Each structure stands twice: as structure tokens, then as C-alpha cells.
Structure 1
């Protein structure tokens, strides 16, 4: 399967199961026989803490012992992937004294032989990230740069499609007014209610009233949880501009100056 055909098939996948079949066809055509994908919901999302994964080629006992038991969340590959932006090979992950007792050590070895693999961190909307981990074909120790870039692109495409299919299953997003979003952005930036009132030119009582409505809409009971939930479901992000003109009040274009003036 060519990468162009794979991309079209991914975009056409109507559900998670058909998407997995497309990813299987692509990876197996390139000699990968054992691999897994993990979806990491962001903090504050409705599915926070629910590690979702799909595996191929692992024994059922391994899947039950390592993945379904929750041991996977402490695995060195997952922890390393969370802290890195770029693909890495299994043998590049620092080991420690726990290696021999780490369930991952058992999972990622076959009999007594060393095996090689590669992990590809993938990234989605609002911090909805993931990890694709593949055992290398027996004839390969490393991928060349073209193979690596294509595999990274394929993993990212699959992850984004997974997010697009899965997030709607979590239910509709709460609806916040522009003012409520504005207040939550300042809450997420650590501002107190009096400070927010001063920034926005409204009373503290008005800020309090907005927050009470926000709590009700988001199903939370305090300001910090409200901000975390809003970020987790994509209602706000801390990079948004708060207190600037609204959509119907466009900003003036920046002035252009000649270099050297």
C-alpha cells in the first residue's frame, strides 16, 4: 500500500475498527508483524485516565498481563514517549535497575533473544496524544530516513483520524459564552477573581456569577477543575488572547517597516 493510498483509506475510514484494518494493512506490508497503538486522553477530558490501546501480534496472555492489568502505564517506553517529540528506538530508552522486574521487559522480549523496535509519539488536538510502537522486521536494525519519515507521517495520520472518530463518542461539548471563555482563560493563567474583574472592567460579583454558571455547565465545583476541564475538552487554550477585541472587532493589521530603517 502506497502512502498516498493509505492516506485516502484513512480519511475514508468510517469507524475505529475499519481504521485499524487500514493501519494493519499498511504496517504489515512493510514487514511489521507485532505492534501496538496507545491513545492518551488529556487531563480534564471526559475520558481522562482511560488508556485506550490496540495490539497486533501479541499473545493473549501478554495482552492480559501487561496491557489490561494497567502495568503498561508504568512502562519505560510510554514514559519516554510522553517526554519526547521524536521517534526513538527501543534500545535508546535508558534502562534502570528495575529492568528485570519490569513487565515491559517480559512483553517486549521473545524467548531469550533481544528484539528491536521503534516508538513514534503522535499528537492530536488539545493534548490528545498517543504512541505507535512497532517491533522491527527481523532483517532490519534501523530504518533509513525516508522510511522513518513515511512511517511517522502514517502514524500521525492514523492518530488524527482516530481522534476525529473517537471524540464525538464522548458526547457534545458544553457551550460557553465568549465572556465565560474569556474568564476561564484568565483563571487558567492563575488570575484571582478580583484581578479578572479589574482586567475585564466588570465587578467581582459578575465574575463570581459567570463562574457559577461555568461550574454548572462543566459539571465541576471549583475554578481550577473548571479550567483544566475546559482545556481538556478544547473549549479554551492558554495561548488564546483574553481581553482583546472580539471576532466582530478585528485587530488592525501590523505596520510594515523596511529593514534597516
Structure 2
């Protein structure tokens, strides 16, 4: 099992956000988490069209609903976490605040889609760039001690600060594309599917899916062909012979 000290070393060696995510996932999986999600909040997160969320182990249909139905805007677990500092279990959410009908509906959706309990860890960054990590555990897993939760929070905090540093220094194109998104767009223009792109870049299909959604949003398109054409016209990709 990787120690906290070794994890910090690996964070420093991570070349990009995809490697950072994999390193963090491995650490939490070793601690028994079967589901992991990370959300990065901008200071004006309420105006975000689509949140920055990485996830692993959660049902894909749940992740899709959270974005398409904008459930992320009223997720009571995350909203309580943003107003507190101590990690807490999902099952304790209802006793921590008076919840609206919409918030209770979202909790019901989560219970239907996700078995077992989990914890949310609060993260803090520069310029109010805060974050959360959710760790889901199998049904029947014993609750972690306060000391164990704090250790997980410290580890997640270190990863969050690395993410903030990487994203803030990543060169942006006029359309706000990251270097990784440009890579994905290049392969989209070459006619590659998300699964093939994932193999080429050595990242997960889910990560590619996330990049594609962001590319579509930044280009203002809804399909791969239009994205390729618009990317070519904007000089973001090279013409394919």
C-alpha cells in the first residue's frame, strides 16, 4: 500500500491532470473505496454551464443525469460540504441541514443508483477554487475513524492543489482549449472513436468522454463532424490528407 509520503512524491511527478487523477484513484482504491469522484469549483461555480467532475465507479447513467438534468446545482451533499470543513458520511446529510424537496429528491436518486455509503471530503484552494472528493464504500463497510478521514482529506487536499496548479498554468487557446482537449479534437478530426482515442492517449474512455463534452461546449457544436470542421476552420487542427 502506498504511504502518504510516497503519494505526495507521485503527485509531484504527475505530468498532467490525467496522470494526477490515476495516481489519486490508485491511492483511494487501496484504501477500500470502490467509487471516487472529484469536483473542482470555480469561485463563481453557480454560473458554470458544466461542472468539472472526474468520476470512477459510479453508474454512467447517474453521471449523465447529473449533467443533463443539472442535478449538480442542488446536490445537498456538495452544498453542505461547501459550507463546512469536516468530512461527513452521505447518510448523515439529512440530519445536517433542513433540505428542500428538490434536495431530498436528489438524495433519493443517489440511494437508488448507488449502493453502500460514502464520505465527502472538503478541499480548499487559491482564489476560492475549492473542491470535493466523494469516496464510496461497499455495503457493510465499517465507518472510518475521524483520524482516518482526516488522513484521506489531507491526501485529497494535496491532489487538489496540484490540480489547481496544473490547470492555472496550462496554456490556453483563444477558444479556451487545453492541450489535452486539442489532442482529442485532433483525433476526432481523424475519425477516431472515443475508445480508440482513449487507447492512443493512454487514458480512460470516461476521461475522453469528458474532454469531448467540453470541446463541444467550447466550440458551440453538438456533433463530431461539426467539431472537426469548426476546429479546422479555427486553425486548431491540421487538415488530414
TM-score under structure 1 length normalisation: 0.58
Provide the secondary structure at the position in 1 that maps to 2:5: helix
Checking the alignment, whether the CA contact within 8 Å between 2:36 and 2:134 is kept in structure 1 is yes
Q: CA deviation at 1:100?
A: 8.6
- Superimposed CA distance per residue, residues 125-155 of structure 1 (whole angstroms, 9 cap, x where no aligned partner): 1110000011134343311133112101111
2: distance between equivalents of 1:57 and 1:163? 24
- 2:161 maps to 160
Change (3 A) 1:60 1:110: closer
2: distance between equivalents of 1:167 and 1:128? 11
- 1:66 maps to 66
Provide the secondary structure at the position in 2 that maps to 1:14: coil
2: distance between equivalents of 1:55 and 1:108? 17
Matched, 1:142 2:126: no
Provide the secondary structure at the position in 1 that maps to 2:170: helix
Change (3 A) 1:68 1:82: same
Change (3 A) 1:160 1:100: closer
Checking the alignment, whether the CA contact within 8 Å between 1:34 and 1:58 is kept in structure 2 is yes
Q: CA deviation at 1:170?
A: 6.7
Matched, 1:37 2:25: no
1: distance between equivalents of 2:6 and 2:68? 33
- 1:76 maps to 76
Cα RMSD for the two superposed structures: 2.6
- 1:107 maps to 110
- 1:19 maps to 20
Q: Which residues of 2 match residues 108-257 of structure 1 at below 5 A? A: 108-110=111-113, 115-169=116-170, 171=172
Gaps of 5+ in 2: 174-241
Q: CA deviation at 1:97?
A: 6.0
Change (3 A) 1:123 1:78: same
- Superimposed CA distance per residue, residues 20-73 of structure 1 (whole angstroms, 9 cap, x where no aligned partner): 000110011111011211100113x9x962520001111221111123542112
Q: CA deviation at 1:121?
A: 0.8
1: distance between equivalents of 2:99 and 2:146? 29
- Superimposed CA distance per residue, residues 223-248 of structure 1 (whole angstroms, 9 cap, x where no aligned partner): xxxxxxxxxxxxxxxxxxxxxxxxxx
Change (3 A) 1:162 1:17: same
Greater helix share, 1 or 2? 2
Checking the alignment, whether the CA contact within 8 Å between 2:133 and 2:156 is kept in structure 1 is yes
Query: Which structure's CA Rg is the greater one?
Result: 1
1: distance between equivalents of 2:84 and 2:30? 27
- 2:101 maps to 98
- 1:53 maps to 53
2: distance between equivalents of 1:105 and 1:150? 29
Provide the secondary structure at the position in 2 that maps to 1:102: helix
TM-score under structure 2 length normalisation: 0.62
